[in-house]
Structure 1
Amino acid sequence: MTTLFLVRHGRSTANTAGILAGRSDGVELDETGREQAVAAGVRLAEVPLVSAIASPILRCRQTTEVMLGDRAIPTEVDDRLTECDYGDWTGQSLKELAGEDLWKTVQQQPSAAVFPGGEAMTALSARAVAAVRDWDRTLRARHGDHAAWVAVSHGDVIKAILADALGMHLDAFQRIMVDPASVSVIRYTDARPYVVTMNSLSGDLAKLVPPAEAGDDAAVGGGAGVAGGPETGARAAEGTDEPRVG
């Protein structure tokens, strides 16, 4: 089994301005966003990461660089983890966009949403899920079954990946919260993905990497927890935060 740490970029200048940045050039982390990236790096410091994969968008590349600091971790960019192409919505005020008819579709039936001049949300989901599944197989082949790796991407992209891991239809993905610089963890096994934690904002993350002797089966009855000793199955380990689902 491999463990994926999904990190959303830190707060950006567009986030604070209430603008839908999308793929706009020049949108950077603000001061708080940089502090958040540093904090995420501290949380991941004891995680034995074998690789980092990032969206090509500047705010994600900045988050990755700040978060990893001087750690010698191979880092690559994957276009499939890029932000949604919001088309004509790019750069517009979120308050103004909330009055558009399409806004309701995005909220209630995202599988039917196609942004004018841009991308369908189903296409976003397909490319994002394919990216993490492909990287999971690649890194597992390179580093073994217990490799841990990090991917840095965007809110809607991460929500789509989590929805897939949870077995949820895309139309339910707006129930998932993904805050700036939050960490969500998925453990991929031959049997199924396990969502370990979502939207985690504080605490050490090293304990979420399973021991080498962990298996692919879920612990019947829920198991003993992280501190409960060895058990059969790849249980969904408790994080330092409760999963936050909207």
Structure 2
Amino acid sequence: MAVVYDVLLVRHGESEANKAGRLAYRTWDPPLTELGQSQAVHLMQQLRDWPVKHLVTSPLLRAQMTLKPLADHLGVVPTILPGLAEVNLGQWDGQRLKDLETANSPSFRAWRQDPEKNPPPDGESIMTVGQRVLAALETYVSTQDPGLTVAATHADCIKGAVLVILKAAGPSARSLWVPNGGQLFIRYNPPLKQWGIIFSPLQKPWIP
């Protein structure tokens, strides 16, 4: 049987940016809220008996904090992958969504309709985000022993990865909802050089 690599993508728990309704990438690296920390503990409790072998995370604080309880339980130091960082929000970094919606600028309206064709000014498109996330994970897992990898990242990173895997159009991102703590299994098949999505029952231990 060919070796495959399984990854559980996890969106970070609720952050101070989420609570405030603000976009955060470079100018602000907020921590988790009290609820977000509880979600991180819940993740540890959910996965504590699963055969998790590797932990990787976005370099941003909210993702690292999300993995900390699980990392402490497993005694594993997470690897920081810059490719898992939040979407580059360009000129909108740090702004409140409510303010952008109120301003109703043409660029914001266009982004809402199709984040692929109309990324934030000086920012990234959704497919670009998905491509860098999958490329970072492919590079990482290909150098590791097979086993379940848990990757803490961000909502648009997960959406982008889904769109790339499914070869879907940019507007489809608006049909995807990734809540704080949301999870998605994906699998990399080296012979095919291909990622796929795993539809798995929430049972433990995880069996590839």
Describe how 1:224-239 pairs up with structure 2 within 5 A: none
**Which letter does structure 2 place at the counterpart of 1:43?**
Q
| Cα distance per residue 1:10-43 (max 9 Å; x no partner) | 0011111111122333411000000001101111
Partner of residue 187, structure 1: 187
**Which letter does structure 2 place at the counterpart of 1:3?**
D
1:204 CA drift (Å): 4.9
Describe how 1:1-246 pairs up with structure 2 within 5 A: 1-98=4-101, 99-139=104-144, 143-144=145-146, 147-189=147-189, 190-191=191-192, 192-197=194-199, 204-210=202-208
> Which runs of no fewer than 5 residues in structure 1 stay unpaired?
211-246
1:62 CA drift (Å): 0.9
Identity of aligned residues (%): 28
| Bigger Rg, which one | 1
> Which runs of no fewer than 5 residues in structure 2 stay unpaired?
none
1:175 CA drift (Å): 1.5
> 1:55 and 1:103 mapped to 2: Cα distance?
26
1:207 CA drift (Å): 4.6
SS in structure 2 of the partner of residue 69 of structure 1 = helix
SS in structure 2 of the partner of residue 135 of structure 1 = helix
**Which letter does structure 1 place at the counterpart of 2:89?**
Y
> 1:208 and 1:170 mapped to 2: Cα distance?
32
RMSD: 2.2
Aligned residues: 201
**Is the Cα contact below 8 Å between 2:51 and 2:206 reproduced in 1?**
no
**Is the Cα contact below 8 Å between 2:8 and 2:184 reproduced in 1?**
yes
> Which TM-score applies when normalising by structure 2?
0.86
| Cα distance per residue 1:118-177 (max 9 Å; x no partner) | 3343432321121122223222xxx13xx1101100100111112222332333222211
Closer/same/farther in 2, CA of residues 123 and 136 from structure 1, 3 Å limit: same
> Which TM-score applies when normalising by structure 1?
0.74
